[in-house]
Amino acid sequence: MSTTRVDGKPETSRGQDAIRILLIITAAAEPLPPEPAGGPAPADAVAVLHSQVRLQKLDFWVRNPEYFANELLAEYEQTGDVTFLDQATAILESDEPQVRRYPMLRYLFGAYEPLDDALAVLRSAGLVVRRKRGTEARVHRHDYYLTRPGRAAADRIVREAPVFGYYVRRTRLVARFAEGQGGTRLKERQYEQDEYRNTVIGDRIGSIAERVRERLRRLAVPVGVSTP
């Protein structure tokens, strides 16, 4: 994705945001459960991603590769599965933390970026439908339904738009990593990082690339070998 720069900060366009959000929803949405006629799901829905919190937190990891790499390293330390180490190494030894990073705002409940414009693009094309749960006075949750045309559009991106290949691969990897974890759990994991937690509300969350690269260097040293 190409970017413009505002005050020295990388910014994505409305269309780029729409494609990224469509790919996240496609990768992370769950099959629709059986529901009675007249339920909230649109007639042409094929899957659903529950909660704006979960969507925002998945988007944070897509937009901030070094934070996602840090989670991969944590998973490696916990499980010993070298797949996580290899995935983190590929991110941190590339230029992703610099050229693929699009900072998000720190809001009351963590990383946040307004999605209305991107979702308006998707809704107007019939690709994603948002449903609100709760009452008119108090909305408890937003659900994002992927429609058949939405899945077809995502499939066309995979087949016919190699320029978006990075985001296809990354959204799938993030979705697999976050499988089974709700928005609240993802928020808790992200709040464990001091830089994230201590960012002033309304400011953009800073990078942790150098700290995570140092963590990778420590983990890459074989047991019994001292570092200089």
From first to last of its 228 residues, what are the pLDDT tens digits of the chain?
444 443 445 567 889 999 999 999 999 999 987 765 556 788 899 999 999 999 999 999 999 999 999 999 999 999 999 999 999 999 999 999 999 999 999 998 899 999 999 999 999 999 999 998 765 666 678 899 999 999 999 999 999 999 999 999 999 999 999 999 999 999 999 999 999 999 999 999 999 999 999 999 999 865 444 444
Whole-number Å distance between alpha carbons of 220 and 89: 9
| Predicted TM-score of the model (pTM) | 0.89
What CA–CA distance (Å, rounded) separates 165 from 78? Answer: 30
Beta-bridge mates of residue 129: 145
In this structure, how many other beta carbons lie within 10 angstroms of the beta carbon of residue 150? 25
Chain position carrying tokens 């991106």: 157
Dmax over CA atoms of the chain, in Å, equals 67
Give alpha helix (H) positions in 2-161.
14-28, 52-63, 65-79, 82-92, 96-99, 116-124, 148-160
Query: Which pair of tokens denotes residue 7?
Result: 């005050």
Measure CA 60 to chain center.
Answer: 5
DSSP-based three-state secondary structure for 191: helix
